């Protein structure tokens, strides 16, 4: 009942047409083929057409291009689901003057006779436009920003669905856009996980952040292909409400590569700097510390607070020069390296083991209860033979030990004491250690004093020459004299074994050598001239042979003294041949060309071998007295002596044996067909004044030999 009453009231109201015209929204009735059947006054106002113009026209003229299908779409929807309310649609309408305006349309269907009429209400939304424009401007700005940023951005809603992303995100992760249209995010996630080095960690972070919506995070994602992304994540908020999470990814591969490169360059630099530093502090050959390090450490050790003990072990290899000269510098280097290795092994607790240069090493000990034991151990350990390129070498060294005393001492003072002790060890026969003692200072003072004296020796006429006969058993007479230098210092005779090495070290040997040569030639000239088969042997050291005019001066001297050069013999030790200096060979060759002979002195000592003999430019071999002294009874078998002599003979060399003191020795060597003999048995070296006496005793000794061996 109520219903009919209301209907009545409506009917009683203004007419339907008037009602339509009074409506605020434009209202259109459109038939199935799009023709406008009816339009109200608001429609006429909105579009700018008269009602007559509208009626019967196609409604498309009221819609902007692109919206013509809107009505058909709506009609279908309404027909299919009549009960479902349809939200208004946004479209663009078209004024009569051709301008477009935004509008909202809402539709409903009206059953007509046989056909359905679409009722369309149109409301201009131009008034909203201002706000929308701001919003869409902001939106487009945001989109532009999102799309132009190099970061890949993904927004996940609070429900865990993808709420937004930019192109860059897809590109960076190589996700095909169609994957995102899939129902689940799973396939896209698989694409992501398949690329990262540690998918577990990647997922863990995602899970962790999902559980903590308010958390922010920043980490790094490493890719299997070598790329690196920085991953930022923060909650997406609207006001205070968290509505989702924003993930942003930045490809930092180039930056990281540059960083790595820079880091590598820095480490390289650091390594180089370290190398340079260690080169400055380390001996490059042996890897030991160098002098600078040792000095610094020693100074530090001696500084207060006073340590219990400070010991310096200074050591120098014995005869290292010969290893270098004879076996070559490589062997010398090998030996130094081996010595360094052994040294470090001997004193693992040392504060510093350093090579001071050449063949000089030093060990610093600051907490050693028994430095003497260590010193002894070093001498012993280093003396063990080792082989280098087939040669057996037996390093031998002289070690000086100095320790911090009760009184404070400076570093240089302590080092000097060790040095003095080391020299004392050498003088005492090498291959040993000596602890510094105040008496050694006296020895040092003496040595310095000796050198000072030697400097004046020639000028003050203190140098003289003794001559020792050399006999030929075959010829039964003295065939040669060896000139031996003598130094009478005041009323004291200094042995050649002391002053000759000193003279060689100080270079004084040149002056002394010439003096000896001049005196010898002058004093022997007449004896030599009497018989061309007689000769004079003179010792020459390597230092002298380094003089460029050595041979010429000798030849001149021989001429002045009217002595045949062929009557001269020059005795050299084999070390002179192994000096890098080829001048030595040149000087000797010049003398040999002129007819002089060269004798290899002290043969068998040092590092020489029989095999080396054939390469040397020598004519005579002098077998060292140590071999001769092996003959005691004369019955012993000494193959070394016979091989030396045989070898020399087979090379066309003549052999002289030195240091013959007994009958047995003479006989033994005669039996081996040694060419010449020299020694106290025949005569001690004598000054020129006792020349005749020397000749006489030598002759007597020879005939005694002959008479005793003759009849048997
Ligand atoms: P050297 O050339 O081997 O000289 C032989 C040494 O043996 C000499 O010692 C000589 O006195 C010694 N001697 C000779 N017969 C015997 C013997 O039967 N038994 C023993 N035990 N010794 C004997 P000296 O005169 O003391 O000379 C020592 C070294 O000094 C020489 O050894 C030589 O290397 C060097 N020397 C001597 N005079 C000169 C010189 O004018 N110039 C150079 N460069 N060196 C020289
Ligand atoms: Ca000699
Ligand atoms: Ca000799």
Q: For the chain, which domains are there?
A: 4-124 (3.30.450.20), 143-254 (3.30.450.20), 291-436 (3.30.70.270), 463-709 (3.20.20.450)
Q: Given this model, what pLDDT does residue 8 score?
A: 46
Q: Is the pLDDT of residue 607 over 80?
A: no
pLDDT-based confidence at residue 141 (cuts at 50, 70, 90): low
Residues 6+ apart with CB under 8 A from 290: 280, 281, 282, 283, 354, 355, 356
Torsion angles phi and psi, residue 234, rounded to 5: -145, 155
User: Please, what's the largest Cα pairwise distance for the chain?
Assistant: 186
**pLDDT at position 134, please?**
66
The bound ligand whose nearest atom lies closest to the alpha carbon of 629 is 1
Nearest-atom index, ligand 1, CA of 660: 18
Query: How many residues does this entry show for the chain?
Result: 712
Instruction: Report the C-alpha gap between 248 and 225 in whole angstroms.
Output: 20
230 or 136: which carries more pLDDT confidence? 230
> What pLDDT does 519 receive?
98
Q: Is the CB of 685 under 6 A from ligand 1?
A: yes
**pTM of the predicted protein model:** 0.53
**Which range among 134-143, 246-255, 364-373, 535-544 shows the weakest confidence by mean pLDDT?**
134-143
Task: Kindly give the distance from the C-alpha atom of residue 484 to the centroid of ligand 1, in angstroms, as a whole number.
Answer: 6
**Nearest residue to 464 via CA among 518, 502, 501:** 518
Strands 36-39 and 654-657: unpaired
CA distances from 484 to 380, 538, 540, 559 (A): 37, 7, 11, 22
Lowest mean pLDDT among 94-108, 144-158, 225-239: 144-158
Model confidence at 182: pLDDT above 80: no
Q: What is the pLDDT of residue 238?
A: 75
Q: Is the confidence at residue 709, as pLDDT, over 70?
A: no
Region 174-197 average pLDDT:
83
Which of 466, 539, 546, when mutated, tests ligand 1's pocket best, judged by the most ligand atoms within 8 Å of its CB? 539
- Separation between Cα atoms, residue 175 and residue 183, nearest integer Å: 15
Mean pLDDT of the chain: 87
CA of 332 to the centre of ligand 1 (A): 29
CA dist 432 and 318 (Å) reads 10
Cα 595 to ligand 1 centre (Å): 24
Ligand 1 within 6 A of CB of 511: no
Long-range contacts of 503-508 (CB under 8 A, 24+ apart): 503/454, 504/541, 504/542, 504/543, 506/451, 506/454, 506/455, 507/543, 508/451, 508/454, 508/455, 508/457
* Strands (E) located in 10-146: 26-30, 36-39, 89-94, 100-111, 116-124
Q: Is the CB of 469 under 6 A from ligand 1?
A: no
513 lines ligand 1 (CB under 6 A): yes
- Confidence band for 80, pLDDT divided at 50, 70 and 90: confident
On the question of a cis peptide bond just before residue 470, with omega within 30 degrees of 0, the verdict is no
> Under 8 Å CB-to-CB from 584, ≥6 apart: which residues?
542, 545, 546, 576, 577
Q: Which one is predicted more confidently, 139 or 506?
A: 506
Atom of ligand 1 nearest to the CA of 485: 38
């Amino acid at each position: 009942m109520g219903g009919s009453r209301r209907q009545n009231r409506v009917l009683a109201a203004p007419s339907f047409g008037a009602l339509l015209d009074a409506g605020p929204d434009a209202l259109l009735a459109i038939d199935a083929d799009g023709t406008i059947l009816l339009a109200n006054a608001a429609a006429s106002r909105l579009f700018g057409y008269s009602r007559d113009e509208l009626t019967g026209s196609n409604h498309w003229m009221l819609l902007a291009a692109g919206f013509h299908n809107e009505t058909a779409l709506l009609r279908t929807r309404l027909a299919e689901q009549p009960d479902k309310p349809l939200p208004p649609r946004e479209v663009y309408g078209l004024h009569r003057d051709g301008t477009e305006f935004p509008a909202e349309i809402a539709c409903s269907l009206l059953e007509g006779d046989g056909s359905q009429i679409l009722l369309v209400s149109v409301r201009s939304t131009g008034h909203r436009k201002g706000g929308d424009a701001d919003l869409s401007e902001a939106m487009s700005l945001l989109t532009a920003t999102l799309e132009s940023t190099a970061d890949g951005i993904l927004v996940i809603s609070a429900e865990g669905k993808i709420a937004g992303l930019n192109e860059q995100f897809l590109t960076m992760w190589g996700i095909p856009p169609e994957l995102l249209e899939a129902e689940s995010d799973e396939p896209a996630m698989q694409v992501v996980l398949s690329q990262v080095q540690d998918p577990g960690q990647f997922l863990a972070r995602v899970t962790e952040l999902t559980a903590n919506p308010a958390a922010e995070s920043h980490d790094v994602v490493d890719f299997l292909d070598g790329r690196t992304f920085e991953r930022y994540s923060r909650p997406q908020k609207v006001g205070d409400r968290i509505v989702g999470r924003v993930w942003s990814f930045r490809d930092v591969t180039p930056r990281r590569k540059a960083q790595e490169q820079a880091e590598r360059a820095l480490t390289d630099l650091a390594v180089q700097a370290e190398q340079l530093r260690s080169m400055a502090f380390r001996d490059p050959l042996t890897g030991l510390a160098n002098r600078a390090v040792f000095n610094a450490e020693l100074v530090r050790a001696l500084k207060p607070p006073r340590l219990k003990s400070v010991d310096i072990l200074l050591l120098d290899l014995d005869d290292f020069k010969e290893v270098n000269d004879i076996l070559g510098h490589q062997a010398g280097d090998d030996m130094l390296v081996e010595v360094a290795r052994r040294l470090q092994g001997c004193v693992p607790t040392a504060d510093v083991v350093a090579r001071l240069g050449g063949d000089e090493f030093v060990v610093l000990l600051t907490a050693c209860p028994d430095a003497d034991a260590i010193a002894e151990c070093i001498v012993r350990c280093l003396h063990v033979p080792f082989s280098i390129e087939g040669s057996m070498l037996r390093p031998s060294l002289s070690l000086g030990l100095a320790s911090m005393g009760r009184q404070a001492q400076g570093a240089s003072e302590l080092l000097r004491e060790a040095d003095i002790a080391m020299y004392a060890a050498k003088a005492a026969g090498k291959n040993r250690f000596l602890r510094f003692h105040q008496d050694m200072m006296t020895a040092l003072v003496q040595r310095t004093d000796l050198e000072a004296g030697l400097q004046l020796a020639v000028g003050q006429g203190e140098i003289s020459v003794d001559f020792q006969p050399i006999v030929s058993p075959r010829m039964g007479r003295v065939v040669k004299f060896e000139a031996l230098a003598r130094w009478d210092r005041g009323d004291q005779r200094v042995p050649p074994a002391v002053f000759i090495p000193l003279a060689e070290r100080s270079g004084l040997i040149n002056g002394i050598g010439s003096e000896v040569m001049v005196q010898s030639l002058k004093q022997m000239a007449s004896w030599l001239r009497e018989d061309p088969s007689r000769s004079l042997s003179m010792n020459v050291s390597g230092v002298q042979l380094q003089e460029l005019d050595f041979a010429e001066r000798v030849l001149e001297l021989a001429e002045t003294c009217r002595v045949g050069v062929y009557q001269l013999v020059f005795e050299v030790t084999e070390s002179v041949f192994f000096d890098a200096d080829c001048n030595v060979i040149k000087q000797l060759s010049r003398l040999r060309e002129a007819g002089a002979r060269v004798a290899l002195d002290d043969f068998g000592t040092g590092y020489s071998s029989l095999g080396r003999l054939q390469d040397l430019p020598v004519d005579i071999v002098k077998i060292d007295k140590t071999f001769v002294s092996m003959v005691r009874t004369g019955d012993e078998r000494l193959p070394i002596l016979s091989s030396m002599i045989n070898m020399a003979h087979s090379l066309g060399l003549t052999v002289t044996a030195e240091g013959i003191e007994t009958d047995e020795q003479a006989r033994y060597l005669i039996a081996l067909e040694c060419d010449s003999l020299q020694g106290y048995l025949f005569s001690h070296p004598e000054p020129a004044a006792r020349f005749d006496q020397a000749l006489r005793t030598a002759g007597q000794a020879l005939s005694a030999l002959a008479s005793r061996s003759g009849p048997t």
